[in-house]
Amino acid sequence: MGIRHVYNKTCYLNVKTHMTRCCSLALLTVLPCLCFSQIGLNARYFFGKSDILSQSNISQDGVHAALEYNFRLEQKRIEFRPGAGYRYTFPGDHSGNFSAYDLDFGTAIYPFDFAGDCDCPTFSKEGNLIKKGFFLEFIPGVSYQTLSRKETEPNDPSRLPIRSKNFVWKIGGAAGLDIGITDRYTITPMFSMTMLSSSEWEGLLLDGSSGKLDDYVYMGGGLRLTYNAEEKRRRRN
């Protein structure tokens, strides 16, 4: 029993030491990213287009809001913007609508200032606005969506109540312009376009269709507000 006790204690100490080293290494790896990071709130209105959803009386226009954590490479104008958001379409004259929880993994490139030497994602009000602020963004992601239709018309298949849930992939792109308000705050008008992966929806089968949704595309316009809490930052001239 004494030998087993010593052996178990030795294993515990070895595991603890290994975990401490791994955590320390992970912290040192992530720390440089945290030094050039900021938090953003993204809100936009979007317009959807899908013949399948129109036939099923499902609304396609709505709003999307997301919280983002932004960080960038130190020497190049490439920024990474993972975010979590909620998307909702307004029923309006339709009897059904979508709601969704989104995880997006945006990557933005500033083509006119790609070699910019600023050590921070947000810039102050100094410098050429278009050169410093214009960007193109590639936005892949995943979404957990719920399709709902509440009204009931026994003689009209497009009015039967349905409720379906599904995971879908997203791929999108955006263009925007960073406008520095202060050294801490940046506001960004954006225009985006997003496509969803083809997916099977059990609820749509009630309408006599194949149940496959493969033509939903939506375009959006809105604003991103970004905040940087760092006290010391280098400005672009």
Confidence tier at 31 by pLDDT (50, 70, 90): very low
Bridge partners, 168 (sequence order): 143
pLDDT of res. 221: 95
pLDDT at site 79:
87
C-beta separation of 63 from 100 below 8 A: no
- CATH code for the domain defined by 37-227: 2.40.160.20
Give the range among 2-11, 186-195, 196-205, 211-220 with minimum mean pLDDT. 2-11
Question: What are the tens digits of pLDDT across the range 54-100?
Answer: 777 788 899 999 999 988 777 778 889 999 999 999 887 767 888 99
Compute the distance between CA of residue 192 and CA of residue 200 in angstroms, rounded to an integer. Answer: 25
- Identify whether the C-beta of residue 227 lies closer than 8 Å to the C-beta of residue 67: no
pLDDT for 161: 75
Stretch (H or E) spanning 15? helix 2-34
Q: CA 67, CA 52: separation in Å to the nearest integer?
A: 31
Pairing relationship of beta strands 212-213 and 62-72 according to DSSP bridges: unpaired
pLDDT in tens, 4-19: 444 444 444 444 455 4
pLDDT of residue 188: 93
Domain ranges within the chain, ordered by starting residue:
1-34, 37-227
The answer to whether the pTM exceeds 0.85 is: no
